[in-house]
């Protein structure tokens, strides 16, 4: 069987150990958590160097063609091979700031994704704008199973994530916006990949399991809990999320970020109080 297109088989391999006995629809939450970890690893460790090489190097940039298209370079292919050799379970490609050119973006992603047998996901990375992929372009990449899913960062429903849901074929549309999480799930999105998932995985697991079980009342209750988490870390955002991770047992983790976030004593006390509430309700360690 062609590994690139045997979705159910590889999805089971990607998720947690017990996923081998689950249906494919229950795999998505684990994939989202896995991809979140991959992205965090890129940002906070050696992956940052990889991202810099892939996205910022003039030598590794995609080359423009006379007809306006874009072709991948040998440097890109070599980087993908290096990633494969590390033993990763999948790769994430960004939209490379070509959101305003469907034809060029589709050609660029298709050429890179076709060079690997690993499951390939997309990320509308805001650092390279225009970054939003149209539903039409996404449909071109999913119609034959080449792309497995995308992290949508439109933070919109009708004029954003819905367009990708309408063209998702057999792929997974992963949500990144907390306020529209419940609505996007109803529309057909599955899974979450965002800063809150890095510090509150149990919130999202409970929501996902409730939703796919068909208990909409419980799913909405779990969604409301996620909104509490989202608001709890809204001030200072990434720094607040990192502090929550530290409180859960990663003692050598600190809340410092590359940005200008600063957590005041009052803010730290607020996060500690929220963590205590989460522990009392079985949502965090």
Walk along the chain (285 residues) and give the pLDDT tens digit of each residue: 454 544 444 443 443 333 333 333 334 444 444 444 444 433 333 333 333 333 443 334 454 444 444 455 678 888 899 999 999 999 999 998 999 999 999 999 999 999 999 999 999 998 889 999 999 999 999 999 999 999 999 988 888 899 999 999 999 999 999 999 999 999 999 989 899 998 999 999 999 999 999 999 999 999 999 999 999 998 777 889 999 999 999 887 777 766 667 889 999 999 999 999 999 998 898
Residue in 266, 244, 261 with CA at minimum distance from that of residue 253: 244
pTM of the complete model: 0.72
pLDDT of residue 252: 79
- Rounded to whole angstroms, how far apart are CA atoms 147 and 88? 17
Q: What is the pLDDT of residue 73?
A: 65
**pLDDT computed for residue 157 by the predictor:** 87
Position 72 scores a pLDDT of 55
Q: Measuring CA to CA, which residue among 154, 80, 68 is closest to residue 105?
A: 68
């Amino acid at each position: 069987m062609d590994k690139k297109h045997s979705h159910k088989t590889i999805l089971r391999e990607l998720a947690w150990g017990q996923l081998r006995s689950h249906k494919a629809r229950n795999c998505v939450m684990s994939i989202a958590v896995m991809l979140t970890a991959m992205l965090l690893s890129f940002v906070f460790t050696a992956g940052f160097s990889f991202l810099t090489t892939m996205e910022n190097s003039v030598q590794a940039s995609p080359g423009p063609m006379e007809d306006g298209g874009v072709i991948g370079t040998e440097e890109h292919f070599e980087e993908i091979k290096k990633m494969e050799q590390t033993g990763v379970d999948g790769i994430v490609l960004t939209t490379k700031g070509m959101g305003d050119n469907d034809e060029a973006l589709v050609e660029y992603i298709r050429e890179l994704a076709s060079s690997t047998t690993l499951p390939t996901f997309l990320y509308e990375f805001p650092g390279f704008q225009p970054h939003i992929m149209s539903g039409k372009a996404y449909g071109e990449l999913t119609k034959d199973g080449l792309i497995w899913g995308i992290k949508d960062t439109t933070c919109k429903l009708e004029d954003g994530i819905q367009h990708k849901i309408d063209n998702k074929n057999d792929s997974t549309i992963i949500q990144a916006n907390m306020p529209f999480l419940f609505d996007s799930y109803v529309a057909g999105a599955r899974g979450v990949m965002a800063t809150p998932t890095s510090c509150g995985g149990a919130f999202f697991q409970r929501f996902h399991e409730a939703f796919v079980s068909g208990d909409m009342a419980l799913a909405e209750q779990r969604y409301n809990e996620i909104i509490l988490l989202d608001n709890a870390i809204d001030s200072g955002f990434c720094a607040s999320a990192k502090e929550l991770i530290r409180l859960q047992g990663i003692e050598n983790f600190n809340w410092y970020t590359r940005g200008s976030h600063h957590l005041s004593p009052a803010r730290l006390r607020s996060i500690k109080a929220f963590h205590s509430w989460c522990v009392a309700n079985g949502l965090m360690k």
